[in-house]
């Protein structure tokens, strides 16, 4: 459960007076999510999400995230919109934290996505990449290759507590990725966390994307690599090439990959697996017992990392086009 900061009804009512949302009828903490505290609000005008931005989100980045959602929604992408206050600001303060009221997106995330959903996600990811063109703000990806070593150094000494031999194994991946990480690939704004729990469906139709709080400027194909990791593996750790094929075809129905991106995909996928392994490992080792958050298993991403290590070409992910086996 991710409610790190409690709110009182009185404080919330005072906070909401600055918004055109009617009167509060009920509210409750949302049990999902990792980064921020989220509440579902019902008012006389409808339903809204209240987000209190927690310590891991840098307040200086909030204009980027909130501005991006506006930019994308204006270009027709279905995503939540931050509501303006009476003074025009998108951010206020509640219980000592920066806070925003966000429009409620209808839909549910899929616990067991099928290939057809992967195709939809691929398409939506490419649509997001296109829609974010022209967004004027920039945000570097603190969780790309340059950020992995400092992250690793925080957990390295205790890594073997999670699995024997991990310290040596991860050190070798990190060194390899640092040496071979691409320098030049098409760039733009990426979501950077488009896991199934951040994509809503109504029936089989994708209804929107949420949680833009890792969004940043980086290689577009790195976002695809993140999705291959989070959408196309089965619970037993095996890669489902049918899902991969669908996701990649969905993406390419909107934006074709360049030959360089095709060649780089296995390395990007390996890097994406390491990135989620490292943040999960850190949380695994440092989250205090009893904290109101569900810890995610780092070893799920170790299995994926090992898979990518052995991949020789993008064809193994299901990319069906010339050059995929380069």
Ligand X SMILES: N[C@@H](CCOP(=O)(O)O)C(=O)O
Ligand Y SMILES: Nc1ncnc2c1ncn2[C@@H]1O[C@H](COP(=O)(O)OP(=O)(O)O)[C@@H](O)[C@H]1O
Q: Which does 195 bind (CB under 5 to 8 A by kind): ligand X, ligand Y, none?
A: ligand X
- Is residue 33 close enough to count as binding ligand X by CB under 6 A? yes
**Cβ at position 67, least distance to ligand Y in Å:** 16
What is the helix (H) or strand (E) element at residue 222, kind and residue range?
A: helix 220-231
- Cβ-in-10-Å burial (0-12, 13-18, 19+) of 58 comes to exposed
We find the least distance from the C-beta atom of residue 275 to ligand X, in angstroms, to be 9
Q: Considering only residues 77, 91, 104, 283, which one is a binding residue for ligand Y as defined by CB under 6 A?
A: 104
The interface with ligand Y within residues 19-78 (CB under 6 A) comprises 30, 32-36, 38, 49
Give the one residue of 42, 130, 296, 306 binding ligand X; rule: CB under 6 A. 296
| Residue among 35, 19, 22 at smallest CA distance from 101 | 19
Interface residue with ligand X among 197, 241, 254, 258 (CB under 6 A) is: 197
Please give the Cα distance from 302 to 237 (Å, whole number): 10
**Pairwise CA distance, residues 230 & 144, whole Å:** 17
Q: Mark the segment that binds ligand Y (CB under 6 A) among 99-107, 131-139, 178-186, 294-302.
A: 99-107
**Spatial contact of 302 and 292, defined as CB atoms under 8 Å apart:** no
Helices (H), 134-204: 145-155, 159-162, 166-180
- Determine if 141 is a binding residue for ligand X (CB under 6 A): no
34 touches ligand X by CB under 6 A = yes
Write out the residues near ligand X by the rule CB under 6 A. Answer: 33-35, 193, 195, 197-198, 211, 276, 279-280, 296
């Amino acid at each position: 459960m991710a409610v790190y900061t409690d709110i009182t009804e009185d404080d919330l009512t005072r906070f909401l007076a600055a918004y055109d949302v009617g009167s509060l009828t009920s509210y409750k903490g949302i049990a999902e999510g990792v980064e921020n505290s989220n509440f579902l609000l019902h008012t006389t005008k409808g339903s809204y999400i209240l987000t209190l931005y927690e310590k891991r989100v840098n307040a200086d980045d909030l204009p980027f995230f909130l501005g991006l959602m506006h930019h994308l929604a204006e270009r027709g992408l279905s995503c939540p919109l931050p509501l303006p206050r009476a003074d025009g600001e998108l951010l206020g303060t509640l219980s000592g934290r920066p806070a925003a009221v966000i429009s409620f997106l209808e839909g549910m995330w899929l616990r067991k996505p099928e290939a057809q959903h992967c195709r939809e996600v691929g398409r939506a990811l490419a649509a997001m990449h296109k829609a974010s063109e022209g967004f004027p703000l920039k945000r570097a990806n603190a969780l790309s290759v340059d950020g992995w070593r400092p992250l690793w150094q925080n957990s390295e000494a205790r890594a073997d507590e999670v699995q024997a031999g991990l310290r040596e194994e991860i050190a070798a991946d990190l060194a390899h990725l640092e040496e071979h990480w691409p320098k030049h690939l098409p760039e733009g704004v990426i979501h950077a966390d488009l896991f199934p729990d951040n994509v809503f469906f109504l029936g089989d139709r994708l209804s929107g994307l949420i949680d833009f709080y890792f969004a940043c400027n980086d290689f577009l194909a790195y976002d695809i690599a993140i999705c291959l990791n989070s959408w196309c593996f089965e619970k037993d750790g095996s890669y489902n090439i049918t899902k991969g094929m669908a996701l990649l075809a969905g993406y390419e129905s909107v934006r074709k990959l360049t030959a360089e991106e095709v060649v780089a995909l296995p390395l990007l996928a390996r890097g994406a697996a390491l990135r989620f392994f490292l943040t999960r490992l850190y949380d695994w080792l440092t989250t205090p017992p009893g904290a109101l958050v569900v810890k995610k298993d780092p070893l799920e991403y170790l299995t994926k990392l090992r898979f990518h290590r052995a991949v020789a070409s993008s064809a193994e992910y299901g990319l069906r086009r010339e050059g995929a086996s380069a």
